Amino acid sequence: MHNNSIPYPLITTDKLRYADTDRQGHINNALFSTFLETGRVEILYNPRIIELSNDAEFVIAHLSIQFMNEILWPGSIETGTSIKKIGTSSIIFEQAIYQMQKQCASAETVIVQISKTTRQPLPLDNKKIDELKKYLKQKQPE
């Protein structure tokens, strides 16, 4: 069951494993990137949302994570995912990780669609852009 107070258009859940813990007994910071990936791939590699051409793939150009609170085992986390901006060949994602309604991290990721052949940026087509617009983050009332 998802927390309705998480202000993102997509919410994914990951179960925490004992093997994810580190020497301090909390979830290793390296796993935060994996949790963020779960949210992004729900959009980028879901054929009901985006159909990739045979020559297109997505790569990370930039990832910035702000760690706010530790995540503790056992349990699960929820990752909120939205799109901040859609460029010619890039997508900027805004995400946040929560455990028991407490925000543990925020992140911004720049993803670029590239050609598998040339390894150069490949413009997003209008159909993809229209599907991605459904995940644009809504302005919160002040």
Measured CA to CA, the distance from residue 102 to residue 119 in angstroms comes to 39
Integer Rg of the chain from CA: 16
Model confidence pLDDT, tens digit, residues 77-95: 999 999 999 999 999 999 9
Mean pLDDT of all residues in 41-46: 92
DSSP element (H, E) containing 33: helix 30-44
Torsion on CA atoms 137, 87, 47, 97, rounded to nearest 10 = -40
For residue 38 the two structure tokens come to 């779960």
Query: Confidence band (pLDDT; 50, 70, 90) for 65?
Result: very high
pTM to 2 decimals?
A: 0.90
Nearest Cα neighbor of 74 from 96, 99, 98 is: 99
Can you give the pLDDT at residue 120?
Answer: 97
CA distance 128 to 124: 6
